[in-house]
Amino acid sequence: CRRRRPTQKSLEPIQMGSYAHWKGQVLTAEELNVLYEGIKLNNVNHYDYILTGYSRDISFLETVVDIIKELKKANPSLVYVCDPVMGDQGAMYVPENLLPVYKNKVVPLADILTPNQFEAELLTGRKINTEEDAIEVMDLLHKMGPETVVLTSTDLPSKQGDQFLVALGSQKIKKPDGTNTDQKICMDIPKVDAVFVGTGDLFAAMMLAWTHHHPKDLKTACEKTVSVMHHVIKRTITYANEMAGPGKRPTPAQLELRMVQSKADIENPTIVVEAKVL
Ligand code: ATP
Ligand code: MG
Ligand code: NA
Ligand code: MG
């Protein structure tokens, strides 16, 4: 479990509709270094992709940065996908002192960044009230480092109505001749009235996978990512409602993402959400 753990000692639930109990240990920077030493000693330190998510300790995050720098030296074409997990809906769920580390050290190393609206606002110090704001924030994030930025969810109004949430993406690719290509897209995602755990992780993982297949085609990578999300969430809510019975809200246990059952959709999603090029 990786999210919404208030502190290491007291693992109290803080979000309605999510798990009531959170357990586990916070790995220290020292412990991470020991694992990394083992990887180096065995010569298995060649990676094409690194994906990071929830972290709540400064020295751990700084060690992650050091390790990624080394791994990028070993493989200059390594792609670092950073989900800068800090909070949601106006509240931080990691210590505030992680923000400057993300801003100054982590984001500059990232190739692909998947913040939600609140995290993008924290990183840039800009509020997002309009699509223009979102575009400006994504450009500011590009200036900090990553050539691909996806705002995985925003509360911007959707043209399709209030049953949709809006996600936006931006890709700025430096071509060998020195010129830039710039693609900006926007997606309306059908909202499901339930709280899921692991959707942010699945989104970041799918961005990694589909960017691998479509490295210079943000529109297709995002459409496939969001379509996978849709298929998994649809299968999950259908099953959960069935288990809960008529008129009853599903429990968090019934809302566990139906990942294994969605294998075929994850590998080859039917496109159900089309991205609009801005
Ligand atoms: P992070 O996990 O990094 O904080 P986030 O807050 O954007 O990022 P989620 O809120 O889990 O992560 O949303 C990620 C994606 O999951 C959304 O883009 C959407 O595709 C899907 N998703 C999550 N919850 C729902 C929901 N209730 N209805 C429909 N889609 C959802
Ligand atoms: Mg969210
Ligand atoms: Na996100
Ligand atoms: Mg989330």
What residues does each domain of the chain span?
29-277
ipTM above 0.90, yes or no: yes
Residues 6+ apart with CB under 8 A from 23: 1, 11
For residue 35, is pLDDT > 80?
yes
Does ligand 1 lie within 6 Å of residue 217's CB atom?
A: no
pLDDT reported for residue 83? 98
For residue 12, is pLDDT > 70?
no
Lowest pLDDT segment from 17-21, 122-126, 200-204, 208-212 = 17-21
For the whole model, what pTM was predicted? 0.92
What is the atom index within ligand 1 of the atom nearest the CA of 83?
A: 3
Beta strand segments in 34-179, E: 49-52, 79-82, 87-88, 91-92, 112-113, 148-154, 164-174
The fold of 29-277 is UDP-N-acetylmuramoyl-L-alanine:D-glutamate ligase (3.40.1190)
Long-range contacts of 57-61 (CB under 8 A, 24+ apart): 57/26, 57/28, 57/29, 58/95, 58/97, 58/98, 58/101, 59/28, 59/29, 60/26, 60/27, 60/28, 60/29, 60/32, 61/98, 61/101, 61/102, 61/105, 61/106
Does ligand 1 lie within 6 Å of residue 45's CB atom?
A: no
For residue 7, name the pLDDT band (cuts at 50, 70, 90): very low
What is the atom index within ligand 1 of the atom nearest the CA of 204?
A: 3
Give the residue whose CA is nearest to atom 31 of ligand 1.
191
CA distance 22 to 208: 27
In the sheet that 164-174 helps form, which strands lie side by side, from edge to edge? 49-52, 79-82, 112-113, 148-154, 164-174, 180-190, 276-277
Q: Is the dihedral of CA 262, 264, 270, 273 positive or negative?
A: positive
Catalytic positions are: 201
Ligand 1, residues 116, 152, 158, 222: which to mutate, most atoms within 8 A of Cβ? 152
Ligand 3 centre from 114 Cα, in Å? 5
Residue 72 CB: number of other CB atoms within 10 A?
Answer: 17
Does ligand 1 lie within 6 Å of residue 40's CB atom?
A: no
What is the atom index within ligand 1 of the atom nearest the CA of 87?
A: 4
Does ligand 1 lie within 6 Å of residue 229's CB atom?
A: yes
CA distance 152 to 124: 16
